[in-house]
């Protein structure tokens, strides 16, 4: 079983379903996030955002992070010899973005939406100053030095975009089709190029290349799992480039004027 730093298991995350039996909209992300903490070791070394547990629900908005961290500390048996932790600043950022900059412009409450991801488990990013580096260089040596030793972290590294799409279609395709049918939403939003590519594969339509041009956010009619729906391909919340932020805000204003 895959494990986070300090020992919590990383598990496949179920969808987040609407409060009523039918969904007004389905949101398809790439993969779930995690509960992150700001960890200060006893020697003063600090990790600004260390993933330590599954997020409570997919597209979590970061609410009640302090209480969740307190409960997590109780579960892992936190001691002062491990240092101190507080909530990391980025918890729930994707969930908040989707509610404020996707659902609200479309006139849909979070309680009306069905949320799921292409792949159901959390991945860490590689590269310099990445989560993988922080775990390898700051958590693992510390964990080995403790008596008794802390559990080894074992989280999968984010696949390449091509591999992620291939895995999602090959491994999760039937599950995703079943979730789309279950949601029966008249509108679907994909977040990011990988999610758009996965949906295009499931629907058997041409790939939609996301660009910040005039065609961004245009609704397309597709049929998936026997369901005829409007598909709106949007940029991923994690894309923080100024050009994309500006283009998405233009889409938000246009939706507020025209509606769907």
Q: How far lies 48's CA from each of 44, 125, 130, 150, in Å?
A: 12, 15, 11, 20
Per-residue confidence (pLDDT) for residue 126, from 0 to 100 = 86
Q: Per residue in 152-192, pLDDT tens?
A: 999 999 999 999 999 999 999 999 999 999 999 999 999 99
Helix pair angle (161-183, 193-203), 10° resolution: 60
- Average pLDDT over every residue of 116-124: 97
**SS3 of 115, please?**
strand
The pTM of this model reads: 0.95
Per-residue confidence (pLDDT) for residue 212, from 0 to 100 = 95
Per-residue confidence (pLDDT) for residue 106, from 0 to 100 = 96
CATH number for 25-258 (one of 1.20.1260, 1.10.10, 1.10.1760, 3.40.470): it is: 3.40.470
Q: Is residue 256 over pLDDT 80?
A: no
The better pLDDT of the pair 259, 251 is held by: 251
Per-residue confidence (pLDDT) for residue 260, from 0 to 100 = 47
Per-residue confidence (pLDDT) for residue 258, from 0 to 100 = 54
- The conformation of residue 84, written as its DSSP 8-state character, comes to E
Q: How confident is the model at residue 257 (pLDDT cuts 50, 70, 90)?
A: low
- Average pLDDT over every residue of 32-58: 97
Domain ranges of the chain: 25-258
Per-residue confidence (pLDDT) for residue 48, from 0 to 100 = 95
Per-residue confidence (pLDDT) for residue 129, from 0 to 100 = 76
Per-residue confidence (pLDDT) for residue 122, from 0 to 100 = 97
């Amino acid at each position: 079983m895959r494990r986070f730093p300090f020992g919590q298991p990383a598990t496949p995350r179920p969808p987040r379903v609407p409060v009523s039996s039918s969904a007004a909209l389905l949101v398809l992300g790439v993969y779930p996030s995690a509960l992150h903490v700001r960890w200060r070791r006893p020697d003063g070394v600090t990790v600004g955002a260390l993933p330590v547990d599954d997020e409570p629900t997919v597209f979590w908005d970061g609410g009640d992070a302090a209480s969740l961290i307190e409960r997590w500390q109780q579960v892992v048996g936190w001691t002062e010899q491990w240092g101190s932790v507080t909530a990391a600043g980025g918890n729930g950022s994707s969930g908040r973005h989707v509610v404020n900059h996707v659902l609200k412009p479309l006139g849909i409450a979070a309680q009306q939406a069905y949320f799921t991801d292409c792949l159901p488990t959390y991945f860490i990013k590689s590269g310099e100053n990445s989560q993988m580096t922080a775990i390898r260089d700051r958590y693992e040596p510390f964990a080995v030095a403790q008596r008794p030793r802390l559990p080894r972290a074992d989280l999968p590294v984010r696949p390449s975009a091509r591999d992620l799409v291939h895995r999602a279609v090959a491994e999760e395709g039937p599950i995703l089709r079943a979730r789309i049918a279950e949601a029966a939403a008249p509108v679907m939003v994909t977040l990011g190029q990988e999610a758009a590519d996965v949906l295009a594969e499931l629907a058997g339509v041409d790939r939609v290349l996301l660009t910040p041009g005039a065609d961004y956010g245009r609704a397309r009619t597709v049929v998936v799992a026997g369901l005829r729906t409007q598909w709106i391909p949007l940029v991923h919340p994690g894309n923080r480039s100024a050009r994309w932020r500006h283009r998405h805000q233009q889409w938000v204003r246009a939706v507020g004027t025209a509606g769907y």
